[in-house]
A = this chain, B = another copy of it.
């Protein structure tokens, strides 16, 4: 199996990405194609003891980089020599089974959608997320660009989220829910109310509506919403967590000093780490014809390695094929 990795994308690229790729190549049965400006990647790779080992890492040159004053999403549309484009081309040519970038999220969504194309029958590709390690068994979708949705979009988000959680995350028969302003069946805005009957007859394990209260409780494995509410929940999670941890730290500092304070603060430190989305690897853009994983710009080597592991699981699970199969099932249920 081969995974193409964008060596130039992310705040700590190429250093952290190359380190993570080397760690992954050591740990997993995989070949890594590091995509980026050859000289820069070679320099980083040279710092690691790769020679003579069984490790399989190759560099694929991508000569262009996005300029400081360029809009990343537009650059990706127009410039073929960018690492994000080259890694997608490797997948399209059959030279890699999946690709991964920690670069600009908007640009990655454009690259994946543009180059891989939508799966036939999927209205809109989407990207989901965990709550930063606080609730790994719940996946919120969409966190991408679909801020204005039609009911069928939500049905498809439900399907692709469910297939992903089952095939890649190993959760049997994932519980799927719509996010609403109350858990009763008649809650929700017009969009949610119109999507409800579609989910109901989809054949998915639809448990109805969940409300804001239910997001971190694990009640649902897949929580479906548009990217307007999704993005708000995502960013608010980070902010409120940080805000509360700061308040806890202030309180602890008023109660303890010296070693005891250090011990107390180790608790919030561990939680911050758990809540940090640099730790959670990457998520796939779901609903396109090939596998592209998108990670957080702050990804460190550990996140890069985790993300490569996740990509391997998705290839093994034949994720794209499973979504195509799932689509046939929901179409049959609906008719």
Instruction: Report which A residues bind B (CB closer than 8 A).
Output: 134, 147-148, 179-182, 188-190, 192, 211-217, 226-241, 243-245, 247-248, 251-252, 254-256, 260, 263-264, 266-268, 270-271
Contact = CB atoms under 8 A, between A and B. Distances in A.
Contacts of A226: 189
A264 B188 CA distance: 40
A263 to B, nearest CB: 5
Contact of A179 (B147, B212, B232, B271): B232
Given A233-B236, A236-B236, 17 more contacts: A148-B190, A181-B230, A181-B231, A189-B228, A192-B228, A212-B235, A214-B239, A215-B236, A217-B243, A228-B229, A244-B271, A248-B248, A248-B271, A251-B271, A255-B267, A256-B264, A264-B264
Copies in the complex: 2
Given A255-B264, A263-B256, A267-B255, A216 B240 contact: yes
Contacts of A230: 181
A189 B235 contact: no
A212 to B, nearest CB: 3
Contact of A264 (B215, B228, B252, B271): B252
